[in-house]
Structure 1
Amino acid sequence: MSFKDFQRKFKKQFSDFFEIPSDVMLDLPKIVLVGHLQVFIENHRGIVEYTSEKVRIMVGDGEVGIDGKNLMLRNIKTDEICVEGQIKGLTLLEPGEVW
Structure 2
Amino acid sequence: MPLYALGDKRPTCHPTAWVAPSADLIADVQLGEAASVWFGAVVRADNTPIVIGARSNIQEGAMLHSDPGAPLRIGADCTIGHHAILHGCTVGD
TM over 0.5: no
TM-score (norm 1): 0.25
Greater strand proportion: 1
Structure (1/2) with the larger helix percentage: 1
Q: State TM-score, norm by structure 2.
A: 0.26
Larger Rg: 1
